[in-house]
Structure 1
Amino acid sequence: MLEYFKTILAKVSFDGRLFEKELRKAIKSLIKDELQELKNWCNAKFGHVYGPIIEKQFVLAQ
């Protein structure tokens, strides 16, 4: 599932609201071990554009 959500997030990265929506879905669907990997990947790939969105969603998930 992690690879699936990475693919989806990469495809919707052109739109901030859509990215945030799909990130929320990913966070709800993945197990705890995968969440840290997803967070690291998101920050590395999209942190320069969506850093605040990424942080907000992972804080809300805790």
Structure 2
Amino acid sequence: MSRVIYDYTKSILVRVSFDPILFEKELKKAINDLMPDEIEQLYDWLMFFTDEKPELKSCLIHLGQR
């Protein structure tokens, strides 16, 4: 079941990636909803995803505040 939440979280983040403020808000929600190992996976995915979207890189700081 939790894999479904993880995949859903990724799809939401992709959809809102046009707006850094909305992206940050959804990322904060994801951190509260996911398990610690899923947050690590999300971090790895976000490092790859934000390579082409440098305006979103500053949002990754929230992943260190678990």
TM-score by length of 1: 0.88
Shift of 1:46: 1.4
| 1:40 aligned residue | 44
TM-score by length of 2: 0.83
Shift of 1:60: 1.6
Q: Which runs of 5+ in 2 are unaligned?
A: none
Match of residue 58, structure 1, among 55, 59, 63: 63
Structure 1 counterpart of 2:65, which letter?
L
| Superposition misfits of 4+ residues, deviation over 2 angstroms | none
Percent of pairs identical after alignment? 37
Q: Which one has the largest radius of gyration?
A: 2
Q: State the superposition RMSD in angstroms.
A: 1.1
Separation of aligned partners in 1, 2:64 and 2:37 = 16
| 1:29 aligned residue | 33
Q: Which runs of 5+ in 1 are unaligned?
A: none
